[in-house]
Structure 1
Amino acid sequence: MSDNLYLAYDYPLLGAFWTMMWIFLWIMWITLLFRVLGDVFRDDSLSGWGKTGWTFFMIIMPFLGIFVYLVARGRDMGKREHQAARARQESLDAYFQGRAGTDGPADELTKLSELKSRGVLTETEFQHAKQKVLAS
């Protein structure tokens, strides 16, 4: 019976807790690294040399680079992210407005009906235009 290897017995509960804690902190740090790098490249007020400097600093000294960036420029990170989200939303809204703004057959028929009710079109002209709209 002594030939069996009991791994759970050799790895105490506190060791498992610390391992999970280090994995969580590592994932959190990786997420923070990508958010900060995204903010560096999203910022329009930062020059190309400034972006290069911050990126180089974060690659050479990752922990110190991220913490210094958060202290120096972290206050405006939320504002820049909010502006980028607003710009994306406005772009999406403009795209959908452009797509929805095209006149379909229902809009054409409504316009023809209004022209007929105002007396601009006669009944035969209205029927002919309606047939053209429905045929297309």
Structure 2
Amino acid sequence: MDFWASFWNIIWFFVSAFIFIAYLIALFSIITDLFRDRELSGGLKALWFIALIFVSLPTALIYLIVRGKGMAERSRKNIEESTRAAEDYIRTVAQVSPSDEIAKAKALHESGAITAEEYEHLKARALGTSSASVPQQ
């Protein structure tokens, strides 16, 4: 009997820990959204924050019900901006001109690392033309 009592105590501990961690994640998401919102005045932000500290569970539920849709929109917008910034950065860093690619392919062809057919394929790809239009030898 003692084994089953301790077994259910362990299960209860894990369920409680899961609920607590989920609540903390929700709370941090709410606080992040609160400071991300540009439409909300500083006084209202402070009011929401104080309410979250003193009456946290009901305030968190009210915030999610009242401002949940806007919270999702702000999060989506932030993700899109981050993705766009990362893609722009990657483009600026990794940008290689077609002439550079052709020069590299020519050097590989001259060294014997690739065949003439592979060189033509790389050249066509660098120029943006279809590899089907390149004549096969």
* TM-score, normalising length: structure 2: 0.63
Paired residues for 1:1-136 under 5 Å: 9=3, 11-101=5-95, 106=100
Name the stretch that deviates more: 15-24 or 30-39. Answer: 15-24
Deviation at 1:74, TM superposition (A): 0.9
Structure 2: gaps spanning 5 or more residues: 104-137
Q: How far, CA to CA, are the matches of 1:79 and 1:71 in structure 2?
A: 14
Where do 5+ consecutive residues of structure 1 fail to align?
1-7, 110-136
**Partners of 1:42 and 1:31 in 2: CA distance:** 16
How far is the alpha carbon of 1:11 from its aligned partner? 4.1
The structure with more radius of gyration: 1
Amino acid of the structure 1 residue aligned with 2:94: A
3-state SS, counterpart of residue 12 of structure 1: helix
CA distance, structure 2, for counterparts of residue 106 and residue 20 of structure 1? 58
The CA RMSD over aligned residues, in Å, is 2.7
Q: CA deviation at 1:38?
A: 1.0
| Alpha-carbon distance in 2 for matches of 1:51, 1:95 | 33
Aligned length: 103
